[in-house]
Structures are given as structure tokens and as C-alpha cells.
Amino acid sequence: MARTNFKKHIVCIGAGYVGGPTMAMIAARCPEYAVIVVDINPERIAAWQTDCLPIYEPGLLELVRESLGRNLFFSTDINANIHKADIIFVSVNTPTKTYGEGAGKAADLQYWEKTARTILQVSDSNKIIIEKSTLPVRTAHAMERILNANEKGLHFEVLSNPEFLAEGSAVADLEKPDRVLIGSRETESGLKARAEIVDIYAHWVAPERILTSNLWSAELSKLVANAFLAQRISSINSISALCEKTEASVREVALAIGTDSRIGSKFLNASVGFGGSCFKKDILNLVYICEHYGLHEVARYWESVVMMNDYQQQRFVTNMIKVMFNTVADKRIVLLGFAFKANTSDTRESPSIFVARKLLGEHARLVISDPQALDNARIDLQDCTQRIEFSEDPYAAAHKAHAIAIMTEWDIYRDLDYERIFNHMEKPAFIFDGRNILDHEKLFNIGFNVFSIGKPPLKHF
């Protein structure tokens, strides 16, 4: 079908973890719209059109294949596609600023603003612009000002439609979202644009799950959702430290509190700490915004969620070193998992990076194993790869190792032949379960010294 025969042209700027999957879902569910994903990165754009997608996500290849070349297109021709677009989703990265005012907390909006200026430069028709990226509350106001200060007589309606998908379950989350949130101005043109975006999602999302709000509520809700999710993890992780001192088990505590329907059972898995590109960045952004408005107590409250996460990662690796007789120098230590969570190749802010660097600082010899994330691991640790072995095979990795640390909750690590692994390890053999996914009693009976999160250790000495 020629691209001109479509009812509307939807363009998404940014072909990353959010832009790629969300547009693949819209294209699959709305065949009458042309969906074009553009990016400045030609390798990414090329990879989206092969069987080797730039990101690993269960079910994504099948979803992309459904529409690729039919009504889903990937392109590096940003200007021409913006020019033709009726609706533009902006899904570029918004990392934490590393320089100048707000460094370490505020969102770096340089990529964001560049897209606004490109849109303005190449457009000669009115368009709906949608914030898909996670942004500080009131960014839409700045976007409106940049876009609508044009001398072409054009009107750009800016909406916020934050994305709530989680990596590893992106396709399922997009297919059956808990909710879709669409924020707009409550003017005549704002409400009209809102209805157009509601109409896209209504192709497959039940009406009661499509929430609409004002622009600022939509922008802020995204930051708050991530802050609340991360807060739950920091809360249970803080309790895991107390469990280790008191012989309580954090799993039992999580079950006991999680069965209270007011608390709920999800996101109560104590761990080596949360990772991923979103939680830390978005909370720090929230902290920065609170400080900007003079709400220092509110800022400190949310900042403590990140501090607790740093503490948990530090505590995990410090404990490893301590129990291995205060030295890991020249010991072979295996990290099983490098991705920040299971079912993704993404390693951004993965606790494994922190733990690996700390152990390398203590002169350990590392072996890193992961079914999907080794390419990213090599990039993350490129300054010290001469002291690291990378191996997809956990058995080969564990050969002659002194210790194993479970860093990612990949299913394959639950069912390894730990007896075989134990037999080929140096003794005493240590296992550190940073995800609490293993049968600790069984491992102890095999002969391992077992250290998990939020439970007293099981050791033979």
C-alpha cells in the first residue's frame, strides 16, 4: 500500500525501548494509520527491520513482523516524515543531566528540545504533538511556547501520553494496559486532539481503561507512578536488612503484609536493588522539581528511596567481601545475570554494574554470564574487560569459581544443576542469591554456604 492511502500519518521520534514497541502495537491494532518511527541512529533503524531487533523483548519480533512494511515503517528521514505527519509522538531519551544547573537530578531536555525545534522548522501544517517520553511536570508548557511562537500561523496542540510499560513484559503491557493516560489542555482544540488520541487506543483498549486528565496531571502521574513503585522496593529492601538481624524472613514478611488487600502483593520482592533506566532518573527528577518549588521536605522524602537503593546494593557487595574472609583478591566470582531484570537485554542502571565494579576494585576475577545482556555488559565494563570473562554458559562460568552471585532473576538460573556446579567449584563454595529465587535449604544441603536477601545465612563454618 502506498503510504499516502492511510487515514492518518503517525510519526514517532525515537526508536528505543518505548518508541519501537508502542508504535509496533499501534500499527498492529490500527491498520488504517501509517505509523513511521524515526531516529537519528541509523543502526537502530536498520535493526528494527531485521530479525535481530535492537532490543530483546518477548513477543516483540512477532508483533513487529505483523505490520512491518504494511503500515509500520522505520526511517532515518526525520524531516520528511515530520513534514507529512498528522500526529507526532516524541519518545526520545530524557536522561539525568550530568552537567550545569541541576546536574545529577534534573532531566536533560536537550534531545527533547531539539525535536521541538525540528518539528517547528519542517512543518507547514497543524499537528498534534504527544509527549511519550517521561518529562518534568509542566514541560508541555515550554513545548507549547517553542512550537507556537512560529510565524507560519501554525497551531501545535501538545498532549501528554506517558508510557507505563515495563521492560521484559512490554508487549503484554501494551496489549493489556492497566490504563492509558492522556492529558491535554481543556480548550476546544485540546479536547478535540484528546479525542483523536483516545480513538487510537480505543482500537484495542477498553474505554474504562483510557483515562483522560489535564496536561499537568498526566505529566506528574508518570513520575509519581515510578516513585511509588520504587518506594515499595526500597521499603521491602529496608526491611530485608532488619530481617537478616532478627531471623525473620523477608519473603514471609512480604507474604504476610502483601495479603492485606490494602497493601497488595506486587513489587514486594526484596532484591539487590532496583535498576533500569527509569526509577532512579525519574525520582531524582521529582526531587529536583520539589526543590525548585521550595518543597524541601517532600524532596528529602523521595530522595530517601534512592538512598535506600544505593544502600542495598552497597550492603550486598560489602557482605560478599566480608563473608569471604574479607578478601576477594584473585578469587573467581561469577555474576549470574547482568540485565537489570529478567527477560530483557537492557543493563541500564543494573545493580550488576555497581557490584561488578566494586568486586573488580577488590581485585576479584569476574565471570559474567547472561542469556541476553552480554553485549551490553561488555560495553558497560569496557574500561576493565581484561579482568573479566564473559560466558553464556553458567556451568563453564562456575568452573573453579569461589563464589556465585545471582544478579538477575532469569528462569534458567532457578533450575541449574547446582550439584554439578558445586562439584567443580573451589571450596568453601559460596552462593549469594541477590534475587531470592533459589531453594536455599537444598543448596545448603549440597554443601554451599548460602547468603540470600532478608534471611539469616546458611553456612557450614
User: C-beta of 98: minimal distance to ligand UDX in Å?
Assistant: 20
Nearest partner of 286 among 229, 214, 212, 238, judged by Cα: 229
- According to the binding rule CB under 6 A, does residue 61 interact with ligand UDX? no
User: C-beta of 16: minimal distance to ligand NAD in Å?
Assistant: 2
Provide CB contacts within 8 A for 103, sequence distance 6+.
97
Q: Alpha carbon of 372 to those of 241, 329, 339: distances in Å?
A: 31, 28, 8
- According to the binding rule CB under 6 A, does residue 233 interact with ligand UDX? yes
> Among ligand NAD, ligand UDX, none, what binds residue 40 when CB lies within 5 to 8 Å by partner kind?
ligand NAD
Secondary structure of residue 208 in the 3-state scheme: helix
- According to the binding rule CB under 6 A, does residue 271 interact with ligand UDX? yes
Nearest partner of 218 among 196, 170, 185, 189, judged by Cα: 185
> Among ligand NAD, ligand UDX, none, what binds residue 93 when CB lies within 5 to 8 Å by partner kind?
ligand NAD
- According to the binding rule CB under 6 A, does residue 131 interact with ligand UDX? no
Residue of 111, 204, 216, 267 interacting with ligand UDX (CB under 6 A): 267
Sign of CA dihedral 175, 116, 225, 268: positive
Q: Exposed (0-12), middle (13-18) or buried (19+): which is 366, by Cβ within 10 Å?
A: buried
In the complex with ligand UDX, the residue whose CB is nearer, 29 or 232, is: 232
CB 116 within 8 A of CB 139: no
In this chain, which stretch among 181-189, 226-234, 285-293, 416-424 interacts with ligand UDX, using CB under 6 A?
226-234
- According to the binding rule CB under 6 A, does residue 276 interact with ligand UDX? yes
In the complex with ligand NAD, the residue whose CB is nearer, 167 or 219, is: 167
> Among ligand NAD, ligand UDX, none, what binds residue 337 when CB lies within 5 to 8 Å by partner kind?
none
> Among ligand UDX, ligand NAD, none, what binds residue 78 when CB lies within 5 to 8 Å by partner kind?
ligand NAD
- What's the CA gap between 453 and 351, in Å, rounded? 14
CA R_g for the chain? 24
Residue of 226, 231, 285, 347 interacting with ligand UDX (CB under 6 A): 226
Residue of 268, 287, 431, 438 interacting with ligand UDX (CB under 6 A): 268
Residue 106 DSSP label? S
The catalytic site residues sit at 278
In this chain, which stretch among 122-130, 158-166, 204-212, 421-429 interacts with ligand UDX, using CB under 6 A?
158-166
Residues that bind ligand NAD (CB under 6 A): 13-19, 38-41, 44, 78, 91-94, 111, 114-115, 133-134, 163, 165, 167, 277-278
Q: Exposed (0-12), middle (13-18) or buried (19+): which is 59, by Cβ within 10 Å?
A: middle
- Chain mean position to CA 333: 26
> Among ligand UDX, ligand NAD, none, what binds residue 340 when CB lies within 5 to 8 Å by partner kind?
ligand UDX
CB 75 within 8 A of CB 36: yes
Residue of 63, 140, 147, 165 interacting with ligand UDX (CB under 6 A): 165
Which residue in the shown chain puts its C-beta closest to ligand NAD? 16
> Among ligand NAD, ligand UDX, none, what binds residue 19 when CB lies within 5 to 8 Å by partner kind?
ligand NAD
Residue of 6, 89, 156, 274 interacting with ligand UDX (CB under 6 A): 274
| DSSP H or E segment with residue 11 | strand 8-13
- What's the CA gap between 170 and 167, in Å, rounded? 5
User: C-beta of 447: minimal distance to ligand NAD in Å?
Assistant: 40
Q: Which long-range contacts (CB under 8 A, 24 or more apart) does 365-368 make?
A: 365/330, 365/331, 365/332, 365/333, 365/389, 366/333, 366/334, 366/335, 367/332, 367/333, 367/334, 367/335, 367/391, 367/397, 367/398, 367/401, 368/334, 368/335, 368/338, 368/397
In the complex with ligand UDX, the residue whose CB is nearer, 115 or 269, is: 269
Binding site for ligand UDX (CB under 6 A): 163-167, 226, 229, 233, 267-269, 271, 274-276, 278-279, 340-341
